[in-house]
Amino acid sequence: MRLKLLWVGKTQESWVRTGIEEYAGRVKRYAPLEILEAREEKGAQAATMRERECERLAKLIPKGGKLVLLDERGEQMSSPELASFLSKNRDQGTQDLVFAIGGAYGFTDSFRAQAFKTISLSRMTLTHQMVRVFLLEQIYRGFTIINGEPYHHE
Ligand SMILES: C[S@@+](CC[C@H](N)C(=O)[O-])C[C@H]1O[C@@H](n2cnc3c(N)ncnc32)[C@H](O)[C@@H]1O
């Protein structure tokens, strides 16, 4: 199973980039991981920016890829539940599990409708930049749970 992380715009803060590099490196011990960046839209109305950014995200989804959205309105999962979601997909032969993080204006309804699952990390709104690190850390945590490694403590 290959993992793809899609997001909108460059990672601006160096301390966020450091976190991404750290946890992306850890995740790659368990599964091939590719991070793909959609260009951020600027200077238009929120709805137009959301629309254009989602069109760009949609183009990055490989054919047959299973789309998982990160969204505050999604389903809240525990880390063991995320681990079992990852292992189930791996065992069922999912080729590309594609996680998408929206831009500052989130997702359009039509992009939401393409998702196979929508996950919330919290009911609070987090910055789309920090969500990149939180998601990578949870995926890493998930793999350590799958492998019975001493990282996650109940
Ligand atoms: C600043 S938020 C967008 C807020 C936008 N007003 C909305 O309603 O979706 C940018 C992106 O960060 C991610 N995000 C923010 N908070 C999140 C949370 N609690 N759980 C999961 N993803 C979150 C989502 O992918 C979201 O599209």
Q: pLDDT for 8-64, tens place per residue?
A: 999 999 999 999 999 999 999 999 999 999 999 999 999 999 999 999 999 999 999
ipTM for the whole complex: 0.97
Q: Is 77 in the pocket of ligand 1 (CB under 6 A)?
A: no
Q: Extract the runs of DSSP E, i.e. beta strands, from 32-136.
A: 33-38, 66-76, 96-101, 117-120
Tokens of 138: 């949870």
The structural architecture, per CATH, of the domain 2-146 is 3-Layer(aba) Sandwich (3.40)
Mean pLDDT along residues 75-87? 97
Instruction: Parse the chain into domains and list their residue ranges.
Output: 2-146
- Report the Cα–Cα distance between both ends of the chain, in Å, rounded: 27
What pLDDT was estimated at residue 26? 98
Q: How far is the CA of 122 from the centre of ligand 1 (A)?
A: 10
φ/ψ of residue 73, rounded to 5: -90, 5
